[in-house]
């Protein structure tokens, strides 16, 4: 098995995710395709999917299967959710798909769909406890996570499309329509016993509609990062967004920055559902998960349902393998950087909350060399800023990127100011300290030999002596590290000697 293709037949869209397996513990997403079929709108009065929607779905699946066939040794996993789950003519649809394109479909139960949402979230976000909410076109999954374990889950038979149709939400809504919608949602949520005794204040949001809430938020604040995974919103902002969109027609909603044109007619019901749940459960903030069903299926298949204990390490390792980096050098620079950080704490006075930043920036400090060795620190910063690194907060991502940049420069790039909304003055100082330490560590392994096995620091009033531990002659490497002396002195106020 060289590739995995995950097909998700949802109530709103049919998607394909193709992944290349690059190593036993790593993968690379090749492409993602999406077609809006809107199966959730395609039922007749008897609860059966209409022929035109069946044919449209088959046409998309045929296209996807032919595309998958261009990849060697591919395993296709095709799933279907609520629209197919509740269709009276489900068997007919499955038979048509099997006979016409020879594709087997797993019709997931609500609980199985919830499990994949859970598995994707806990393996790509640093969360121990929280409530996961996945709003699809025709169903909403709620999952309670405690100590990274799935404690409770339920699938509710309504989503963005079905709420829109049931309560006539395509355009601006009346007070009566809003009252009926909220009453329905509150009644549905209140019937879930475990939801009434919730002791978490974080909601993890999954699905296109919830991602659109985050995209609107990002546009409002000129958020500097392109990434949406692990984006955090306060609950009050979601209420504000809901109050804005409910008063607009579908045509007017098209002008809202961040809102997908394909969701303007079904967005209000989804936002109202999120807002109602937040209010009922006293949720303080929402964290966006870019990953859901498809990624859950992928990770569950690759790792045999075993949870990933070290999310950040897994993610960094995945990036390193896919970029053909030198793992011995990267790990050694990280080891030396961490030793320097620990030994010099009395001087820089920074704490261990920076460990994720140190680990990421030191291990990926030269990833930009794949673009060009010259000025690779600039390319490294770009790659870190635009990679989804699981286990990092947006603030840690920015700090890691510019610490990697600073390891070869005594100044930060001209566009750095736009990221200052995510960091403060202490963070800026931390970036420079970590960057300088990486610079020393990199020069102590300039020949990629790992010959300097450790360092010990002696701190005097105005001098710091770094004593290297090596079994070979390391004069060249020591000389390289000594070149940092002036920059070190300017930042930390002490002369540096490397011996």
**Residue range 438-496, pLDDT digits in tens:** 999 999 999 999 999 999 999 999 999 999 999 899 999 999 999 999 999 999 999 99
Assign 3-state DSSP to the chain and report helix, strand, coil percentages, each to 5. 50, 20, 30
- As a whole number of angstroms, the distance between CA 447 and CA 274 comes to 54
Q: How far apart are CA 315 and CA 360, in angstroms?
A: 10
pLDDT of residue 72: 84
Residues 313 and 347 sit within 8 Å (Cβ to Cβ): no
Q: What is the pLDDT of residue 363?
A: 98
Q: How big is the CA angle at 379 (ends 365 and 492), to the nearest 5 degrees?
A: 50
* Nearest C-alpha neighbor of 27 from the set 369, 289, 302: 302
Q: Residue by residue, what is the 3-state secondary structure of 20-85?
A: EEEECCEEEEEEEEEEECCHHHCECCCCCECHHHHHHHHHHHHHHHHHHCCCCCEEEEEEECHHHH
pLDDT of residue 250: 85
Residue of higher predicted confidence among 355 and 306: 355
Matching residue, tokens 């995710």: 17
pLDDT over 90 at 76, yes or no: yes
- The predicted pLDDT at position 204 comes to 98
In our burial notation (b when 16+ CB lie closer than 10 A, e otherwise), range 186-206 reads eebbeeeeebeebebebbbbb
Sign of the CA dihedral 299, 302, 303, 304? positive
Residues 20 and 27 sit within 8 Å (Cβ to Cβ): yes
> What is the gyration radius of the CA atoms in the chain, in angstroms?
26
| Total residues found in the chain within this entry | 499
According to the model, what pLDDT value does residue 197 have? 87
What would the pLDDT profile of 150-179 be if each residue is shown by its tens digit?
Answer: 999 999 999 999 999 999 998 888 899 999
Phi, psi of 33 (to 5 degrees): -115, 150
Which of 249 and 185 is assigned the larger pLDDT? Answer: 185
How confident is the model over 76-87, as a mean pLDDT? Answer: 96
Q: Could you give the angle at which helices 235-245 and 267-281 cross, rounded to 10 degrees? A: 150
- The whole-angstrom separation of Cα 315 and Cα 228 is 16
Whether 328 and 242 have beta carbons less than 8 Å apart is answered as: no
Residue 25: pLDDT band by 50, 70, 90 thresholds? confident
Domain boundaries for CATH 3.30.420.150 within the chain: 111-295
Instruction: Tokens 């109050």: give the residue.
Output: 243
Is the domain spanning 311-498 CATH 3.40.190.10? The answer is no
32: nearest Cα among 258, 298, 211, 228 = 298
d(CA 48, CA 60): 19
In terms of DSSP bridges, do strands 74-80 and 105-107 run parallel, antiparallel, or are they unpaired? parallel
pLDDT confidence band for 230 (50 / 70 / 90)? very high
Q: How high is the mean pLDDT of the chain? A: 95
Which residues of the chain are in CATH 3.30.420.40 domains?
A: 3-107
CATH 3.40.50.300 corresponds to the domain 3-107: no
DSSP string, 180-191: HHHHHHHHHHHT
pLDDT of residue 23: 87
Q: Could you say which of 3.40.50.2300, 3.30.420.150, 3.40.50.1820, 3.40.50.10540 is the CATH number of the domain covering 111-295? A: 3.30.420.150
Tell me the average pLDDT across 352-377. 96
Tokens read off for 147: 């100590």
Residues of the chain with CATH 1.10.3210.10: 311-498
Is this prediction's pTM over 0.85? yes
172 vs 283: CA distance, rounded Å: 27
Q: List pLDDT tens digits, range 119-149.
A: 999 999 999 999 999 999 999 999 999 999 9
Instruction: Answer whether 422's CB lies under 8 Å from 224's CB.
Output: yes
What is the signed CA dihedral for 402, 407, 410, 415, rounded to 10 degrees? -20
Tell whether the model's pLDDT for residue 354 goes beyond 90: yes
């Amino acid at each position: 098995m060289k590739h995995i293709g995950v097909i998700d037949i949802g109530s709103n869209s049919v998607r394909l995710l193709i992944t290349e397996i690059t190593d036993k513990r790593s993968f690379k997403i090749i492409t993602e395709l999406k077609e809006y079929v809107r199966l959730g709108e395609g039922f007749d009065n008897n609860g059966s999917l209409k022929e035109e929607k069946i044919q449209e779905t088959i046409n998309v699946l045929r296209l996807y299967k032919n595309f998958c066939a261009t990849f060697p040794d591919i395993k296709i996993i095709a799933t279907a959710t609520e629209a197919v789950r509740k269709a009276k003519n489900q068997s007919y649809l499955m038979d048509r798909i099997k006979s016409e394109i020879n594709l087997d479909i797993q019709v997931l139960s609500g609980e199985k769909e919830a499990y994949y949402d859970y598995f994707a979230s806990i393996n790509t976000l640093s969360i121990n406890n929280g409530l996961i909410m996945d709003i699809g076109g025709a169903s909403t999954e709620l999952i309670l996570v405690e100590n990274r374990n799935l404690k409770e889950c339920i699938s509710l038979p309504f989503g963005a499309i079905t709420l829109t149709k049931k309560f006539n939400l395509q355009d601006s809504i009346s007070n009566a329509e809003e009252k009926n919608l909220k009453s329905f949602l509150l009644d549905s949520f209140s019937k879930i016993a475990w939801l009434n005794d919730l002791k978490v204040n974080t909601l993890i949001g999954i699905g296109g509609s919830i991602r659109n809430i985050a995209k609107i938020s990002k546009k409002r604040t000129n958020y500097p990062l392109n990434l949406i995974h692990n984006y955090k919103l306060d609950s009050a902002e979601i209420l504000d967004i809901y109050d804005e969109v409910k008063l607009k027609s579908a045509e007017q909603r098209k002008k809202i920055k961040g809102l997908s044109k394909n969701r303007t007619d079904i967005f209000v019901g989804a936002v109202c559902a999120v807002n109602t749940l937040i209010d009922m459960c006293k949720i303080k903030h929402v964290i966006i998960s870019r990953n859901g069903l498809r990624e859950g299926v992928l990770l569950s298949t690759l790792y045999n349902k075993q949870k990933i204990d070290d999310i950040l390490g897994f993610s960094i390792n995945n990036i390193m393998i896919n970029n053909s980096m030198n793992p011995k050098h990267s790990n050694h620079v990280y080891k030396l950087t961490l030793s320097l950080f620990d030994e010099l704490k009395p001087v820089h006075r920074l704490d261990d909350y920076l460990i994720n930043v140190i680990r990421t920036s030191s291990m990926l400090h030269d990833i930009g060399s794949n673009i060009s060795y010259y000025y690779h620190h600039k390319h490294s910063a770009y790659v870190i800023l635009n990679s989804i690194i699981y286990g990092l907060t947006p603030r840690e991502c920015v700090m890691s990127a510019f610490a990697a940049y600073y390891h070869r420069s005594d100044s930060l790039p001209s566009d750095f100011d736009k990221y200052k909304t995510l960091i403060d003055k202490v963070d800026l100082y931390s970036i420079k300290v970590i960057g300088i330490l990486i610079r020393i560590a990199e020069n102590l392994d300039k020949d990629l030999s790992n010959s300097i096995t450790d360092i010990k620091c002696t701190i005097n009033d105005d001098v710091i002596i770094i004593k290297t531990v090596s079994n070979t002659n390391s004069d060249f490497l020591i000389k390289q590290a000594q070149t940092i002396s002036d920059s070190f002195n300017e930042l930390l106020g002490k002369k540096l000697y490397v011996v």
